[in-house]
Amino acid sequence: MLVVMKHNASEEQIGGVVGTIRDMGYDARPIPGGQRTAVGLIGNDGRVDAARLQGLEGVLEVIPVTHAYKQVSREWREEDTRVVLGNGTVVGGAEIVVMAGPCAVEGEREIIEIAQRVRERGATVLRGGAYKPRTSPYAFQGLGKDGLAYLAKARQETGLAVVTEALDPDGADLVAEYADIIQIGARNMQNYALLKRAGRTGKPVLLKRGMSATIEEFLLAAEYVLAEGNDDVILCERGVRSFDTHTRNLLDLAAIPVVQSLSHLPIIADPSHGTGLRSKVTPMGRAAVAAGAHGLLVEVHQDPPRAKSDGAQSLYPEQFAELMEQIGMIARAIGRELTPPLSVAGSAS
Ligand code: PEP
Ligand code: MN
C-alpha cells in the first residue's frame, strides 16, 4: 500500500504518516520522487485500515499496490531506478552499460589482460565468475577466493567495476567484499536464502532470470532483495528454455519492454547465455539494445577455443569491438548513447 502525500506536504506531515504506520505494526518507507513524496507501507497482511491513513494531514490519497510484487513495481515507484557503481557507471539511465569479460576467471594475468581489452573498447564493467555453477560436478568450478582477488586486481589496474557470481549465502558476504555487483545466476534465482543475504550486504545485485521462470516469478525474486532494504537491483534477461535446439536458450526480448512497464528496476540482456553461439551474440545484442535494454552482459575471451567454460559463446576481442560499434549506432538511432569509455586507467574505487 502506498500513501501519496500532497505536493506541498511538510516533513512533519510525512513523519506523522511514518509514525502512524509503525504504530499500526508495519514498516514504513518514505519514497521521495520528482513530483511527489509517497510513503510505502511494507508487510500489508490485508488488515490495514486505509481510512486511518487517509485521514492524516498532508495525505493526498492511499492506493493499494495491486501486484504481488510491491517495492519492485512501477506503482510503488514511478521513476526509473538508477544503480550507481563504484566507478561512476550508472545502470538504468539513458546511457547503455556494457559488462564484458570471460565466463570464468582463469588466472591473474588472463583476467587483467582481457579487462584491459574490453575497457579499451568501451566496457565499463568487468564480468568473470570465480565460483561457477556448472551442470557437471566434474567441470571447472572456478578459482574461488583467488579468483575474487584477481578480479579486484583487475579493477585496480583498469578502473572497471566488477560483477561476479555468488552461489550461496556465505558466498554473498565474501563476494560483497571484493565486487561492485553480486551476480545471482539463473540457477539460483529462487534461492531465497541467497537473495536475502545478498540484499543485506547493501551491494548492487545483478539478478538473472531463471531458465524457466515467468516474469512474475522473476520480479518476485527481485522483491526479496528490495524487502531487505536494498533497492539496487539490476535485472538480467538471459534466455529461457524452449523446445528448439538451435540455440542454447531462447532470449526473451519481449521481457525487456514488459519488465520496463511493470517495474522501475533496470534490465539488461545477456545474449551470450541467451544464444550459446558466438555467431548469434552480436545480432541479439543489437536487438536487445533496440528493444530498450539498459545494458548488455557479454562473454569475451582472448582465446575462446581454450576457454575453461562457455568458449563456444565467447566473443573474440575483435568481435567485441565490432559489437560495441554496432550497438553504438543502434543506441544513437533510438536517442541513446553508450556509457563513455573510462578515460584514466587505474582510477579504481
Ligand atoms: C554466467 O553468467 O556465466 C552464468 C553462469 O550465467 P547464467 O546464470 O545465466 O547461466
Ligand atoms: Mn558463462
C-alpha closest to that of 70 among 18, 21, 1: 1
Report which bound ligand comes closest to the CA of 188: 1
Residue with the smallest CA separation from ligand 1 atom 8 is 185
Helix (H, G, I), strand (E, B) or coil at 40: strand
**Facing residues of 321 across strands?**
none
Report which bound ligand comes closest to the CA of 133: 1
Provide the pLDDT for residue 344.
62
Provide the pLDDT for residue 133.
94
Residue 127 alpha carbon, nearest atom of ligand 1: 2
Distance CA 210, CA 225 (A): 16
CA of 270 to the centre of ligand 1 (A): 9
| pLDDT tens, per residue, the chain with 349 residues | 999 999 999 999 999 999 999 999 999 999 988 778 999 999 888 889 999 999 999 999 999 998 999 999 999 999 999 999 999 999 999 999 999 999 999 999 999 999 999 999 999 999 999 999 999 999 999 999 999 999 999 999 999 999 999 999 999 999 999 999 999 999 999 999 999 999 999 999 999 999 999 999 999 999 999 999 999 999 999 999 999 999 999 999 999 999 999 999 999 999 999 999 999 999 999 999 999 999 999 999 999 999 999 999 999 999 999 999 999 999 999 999 999 999 865 444 4
Distance CA 184, CA 121 (A): 26
Helix (H, G, I), strand (E, B) or coil at 230: coil
Mutate to test the pocket of ligand 1, among 208, 252, 275 (most ligand atoms within 8 A of CB): 208
Parts of the chain belonging to CATH 3.20.20.70: 83-338
Residue with the smallest CA separation from ligand 1 atom 9 is 186
Residue with cell 545477456: 270
Residue with the smallest CA separation from ligand 1 atom 4 is 185
- Which residues form the pocket of ligand 1, taking CB atoms under 6 Å from any ligand atom? 103, 129, 133, 185-187, 208, 238, 273
Tell how far CA 126 is from the center of its chain: 14
CA of 185 to the centre of ligand 2 (A): 10
Provide the pLDDT for residue 346.
47
Antiparallel, parallel or unpaired: β 2-5 and 125-127: unpaired
C-alpha closest to that of 268 among 249, 250, 292: 292
CA of 151 to the centre of ligand 2 (A): 16
Handedness of CA 195, 253, 91, 282 (dihedral sign): positive
Residue 209 alpha carbon, nearest atom of ligand 1: 9
Residue 239 alpha carbon, nearest atom of ligand 1: 9
Alpha carbon distances (Å) from 308 to 155, 248, 258, 338: 22, 18, 35, 30
Three cell numbers written together for 83: 544503480
The pTM assigned to this predicted structure is 0.95
Three cell numbers written together for 329: 549506432
Backbone angles phi, psi at 295, to 5 degrees: 175, 180
Provide the pLDDT for residue 348.
46
Helix (H, G, I), strand (E, B) or coil at 270: coil
DSSP string spanning 46-88?
S---HHHHHTSTTEEEEE---SS--TTBTTT--SPP-EEPTTS
Provide the pLDDT for residue 36.
83
Parts of the chain belonging to CATH 3.30.70.1140: 2-63
**Facing residues of 129 across strands?**
104
Distance CA 220, CA 32 (A): 23
Residue with the smallest CA separation from ligand 1 atom 6 is 185
171-176 contacts at long range (C-beta below 8 A, 24 or more positions apart): 171/131, 172/197, 172/198, 172/201, 173/197, 173/201, 174/145, 174/148, 175/130, 175/131, 175/148, 176/201, 176/202, 176/203
Provide the pLDDT for residue 86.
95
Residue 183 alpha carbon, nearest atom of ligand 1: 2
Residue with cell 577466493: 145
CA of 91 to the centre of ligand 1 (A): 19
Three cell numbers written together for 231: 533497492
In words, the CATH class of domain 83-338 is alpha beta
- The answer to whether the CB of 2 falls within 8 A of the CB of 40 is yes
Backbone angles phi, psi at 38, to 5 degrees: -125, 160
Residue 297 alpha carbon, nearest atom of ligand 1: 2
User: Which fold does the domain 2-63 belong to in CATH?
Assistant: Alpha-Beta Plaits (3.30.70)
Tell how far CA 84 is from the center of its chain: 11
Residue 104 alpha carbon, nearest atom of ligand 1: 3
